[in-house]
Amino acid sequence: MKRTSPQKRTTIYDLAELAGTSASAVSAVLNGNWKKRRISAKLAERITKLAEEQGYALNMQASVLRRERSKIIGMIVPKYDNRYFGSIVEQFEALARERGLFPIVTCTRRDPALEVEAARAMLSYQVDCLIATGATDPDRIVDLCAASGVRTVNLDLPGSRAPSVISDNYGGALELTRRVLANCEREYGVKAPLLFVGGRGTDHNTMERMRGFRDAHAEAGIPVDETLVLPCGYAPEKAEQAMRQLAGRTHDLPRGMFVNSTISLEGVMRWIRHSGHYAERMPHLGCFDWDPFVAMLGDHIEMVRQDVPNMLQAVFAIIDSGATEPTVVQVPPIMEKVG
């Protein structure tokens, strides 16, 4: 993979030669501080026109090397396969650009080793700041960055060594569980514990959501059935397998479920379809995460939509303010109406 042509890119030296002036004048004009450097408007215009004609493109490598700030902002993100992370990345890019920063994003597929490798790569590219989204071990990344004097903000999953912005997982799960319990009671007239499926039992979000799940049961006077709490991982296959195993253990399947992410829901729905266990009547579902097509799947599904715009506003507020204390900002999620 080599460049098409051996032709050199145009540099400020080439432009200086063409304009009969010095490289430093060209630089001053092209990066906009020619007024400060007292370059005449006439020369400025001549240089600008030449640059355009020659298709000049700044060499960021050289520029960044010389400056002390790169204006590059990095983000690592677990996956691109759901609306939540998709909109996080889109918002991130938009807000970064608004501030004149160059966003670089990379996906780490929930792989701790890749997370670290990606963080290292970003440091090599001299990012001024790194957003660690849904990182397995955010503190590890913060430490790596701190060693190079690079600030970090944790998003989606909190860490203990840098500011974090997360959803109010407890509050969202509490309300979601309440609604699903109420839906079940309304339809079946009985108070029965729900299933909890999906997510990693070790991650903060899943633990908080389980806490909300339990408290909502307690509120309703329903004892949680521990055999129905299955934090089996996020992947659809994991969730599907967990359901299959559960069905193998009991014939009394729950009439309501708390599904921890749309990704897990994919597996749960697949199982529901294929197993035929709920052929006569669909269970009441609550999903912690939102997807437009899930919303159309039927009136038996409640969703919690994480408030991505506000989360990213909070992230950039932290960045803009320069804060580095390990605070946790909790952004309330949005309950999506049934239907």
Partner DNA sequence: CATCTTTGCTCAATCGATGAAGCAAGAATT
Partner DNA sequence: AATTCTTGCTTCATCGATTGAGCAAAGATG
Where does this chain bind DNA (CB under 7 A)?
8-9, 11-13, 20-25, 27-28, 30-31, 33, 37-40, 42-43, 58-59, 62-63, 65-67
Q: What is the DSSP letter of 294?
A: G
* Residue 260 near which of a copy of itself, DNA, none (CB within 5-8 Å, type-dependent): none
**Pick from 220, 221, 214: which is nearest to 182 by CA?**
220
**CB-wise, 60 or 338, nearer to DNA?**
60
**CB-wise, 6 or 32, nearer to a copy of itself?**
6
Nearest approach, Cβ of 194 to a copy of itself (angstroms)? 21
First vs last Cα of the chain: how many Å apart?
51
**Pick from 149, 153, 84, 99: which is nearest to 123 by CA?**
149
**Pick from 185, 180, 141, 181: which is nearest to 159 by CA?**
141
38 φ, ψ to 5°? Answer: 55, 50
* Residue 120 near which of a copy of itself, DNA, none (CB within 5-8 Å, type-dependent): a copy of itself
Nearest approach, Cβ of 256 to a copy of itself (angstroms)? 19
Binding site for a copy of itself (CB under 8 A): 1-9, 55, 57-62, 64-65, 69-70, 79-83, 85-87, 89-90, 93, 102-107, 109, 120-121, 123-126, 128-129, 144, 146-151, 236, 262, 266, 269-270, 273, 291-294, 296-297, 319-320, 322, 324, 339
**CB-wise, 21 or 313, nearer to DNA?**
21
* Residue 4 near which of a copy of itself, DNA, none (CB within 5-8 Å, type-dependent): a copy of itself
**CB-wise, 102 or 211, nearer to a copy of itself?**
102
Query: Which run of H or of E encompasses 4?
Result: none
Q: Alpha-carbon torsion 98, 122, 312, 151, what sign?
A: negative
Nearest approach, Cβ of 123 to DNA (angstroms)? 11
Cα separation, 310 vs 142, in Å, equals 23
Three-class SS of 55-107: CCCCCHHHHHHHCCCCCEEEEEECCCCCHHHHHHHHHHHHHHHHCCCEEEEEE
Nearest approach, Cβ of 279 to a copy of itself (angstroms)? 14
**CB-wise, 24 or 327, nearer to DNA?**
24
Nearest approach, Cβ of 126 to DNA (angstroms)? 9
Q: What is the DSSP letter of 228?
A: G
Q: What is the DSSP letter of 10?
A: P
Nearest approach, Cβ of 242 to a copy of itself (angstroms)? 18
Nearest approach, Cβ of 148 to DNA (angstroms)? 11
* Residue 192 near which of DNA, a copy of itself, none (CB within 5-8 Å, type-dependent): none
Contact 223, 213 (CB under 8 A): no
Cα separation, 152 vs 318, in Å, equals 10
**CB-wise, 28 or 116, nearer to DNA?**
28
**CB-wise, 142 or 181, nearer to a copy of itself?**
142
